[in-house]
């Protein structure tokens, strides 16, 4: 499958000094001829190195809720600049640790994303509940690279909005391009128990990984809206998320 990055992707990517993969998921064509609204949801990599100017830019976009998807060790090593800040409501909801998953059936990132859908529904419910509470504001959600945990959350939102599958996959694949300047730094975070060859696969964002996740989402749950209902979101919470995504 040949992937091309949307020509508008650079318009969604924030040019920051301390982060490389902070981007608006708005601007994509959605269901019924609508467009995903800009300024509602930002996906991001780690925020621990944001400068004061970076923070001003993010807050200036209307971000008032920051959802950190990382685990405790990541939080301790690389503190989120919005943790304890009065400028935004900060929430930590640890989905998984993708580098040290104990599920022996996980051989690829695609396997991990499928496992997240199947096993982390209660945590994903909390993520989307926090988002629905923030109606009227802009929500930023992130993990370490803005690819795996962040990628699953972004894909679910875009699928809920009715964005085409190929566009969701391309949005996911863009991370590998954006993180190229810090790939060597990310390699230094490799856990000792994971071979370097395998870790290289986990650093990338091959389209096949998101294809596998979307196949599972639609084949086993009927899409994002049905999945949200399955994990316990109310009809009103789902409606709020749709309004945030699609209403100007």
143 is catalytic: yes
Q: Treating both helix axes as pointing N-terminal to C-terminal, what angle do 224-231 and 149-161 enclose, rounded to 10 degrees?
A: 110
Is the Cβ–Cβ distance between 48 and 79 less than 8 Å? yes
**CB neighbourhood size of 242 (10 A):** 17
Handedness of CA 116, 120, 121, 126 (dihedral sign): negative
End-to-end alpha carbon distance in the chain: 34
One of 143, 210, 217, 233 is an active-site residue; which one?
A: 143
Is the Cβ–Cβ distance between 108 and 209 less than 8 Å? yes
Could you give the C-alpha distances from 219 to 31, 212, 213, 227, in angstroms and in order? 20, 10, 10, 11
What's 164's DSSP letter? -
Catalytic annotation, residues = 143
């Amino acid at each position: 499958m040949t992937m091309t990055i949307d020509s508008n992707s650079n318009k969604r990517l924030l040019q920051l000094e301390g982060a490389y993969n902070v981007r608006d998921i708005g601007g994509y064509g959605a269901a019924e001829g609508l467009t995903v609204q800009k300024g509602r949801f930002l996906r991001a990599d780690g925020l621990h190195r944001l400068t004061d100017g970076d923070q001003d830019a993010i807050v200036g976009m209307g971000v008032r809720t920051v959802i950190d998807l990382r685990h405790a060790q990541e939080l301790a090593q690389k503190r989120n600049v919005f943790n304890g800040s009065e400028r935004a409501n900060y929430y930590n909801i640890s989905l998984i640790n993708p580098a040290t998953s104990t599920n022996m059936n996980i051989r690829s990132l695609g396997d991990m994303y499928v496992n997240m859908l199947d096993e982390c529904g209660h945590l994903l419910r909390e993520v989307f509940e926090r988002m629905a509470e923030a109606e009227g504001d802009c929500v930023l959600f992130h993990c370490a690279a803005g690819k795996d945990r962040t990628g699953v959350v972004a894909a679910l939102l875009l699928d809920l909005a009715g964005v085409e599958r190929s566009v969701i996959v391309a949005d996911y694949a863009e991370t590998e391009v954006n993180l190229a300047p810090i790939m060597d730094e990310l390699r230094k975070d490799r856990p000792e128990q994971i071979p370097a060859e395998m870790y290289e696969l986990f650093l990338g964002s091959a389209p096949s990984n998101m294809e596998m996740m979307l196949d599972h989402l639609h084949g086993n749950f009927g899409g994002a809206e049905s999945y949200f209902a399955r994990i316990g979101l109310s009809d009103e919470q789902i409606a709020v998320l749709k309004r945030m995504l699609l209403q100007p």
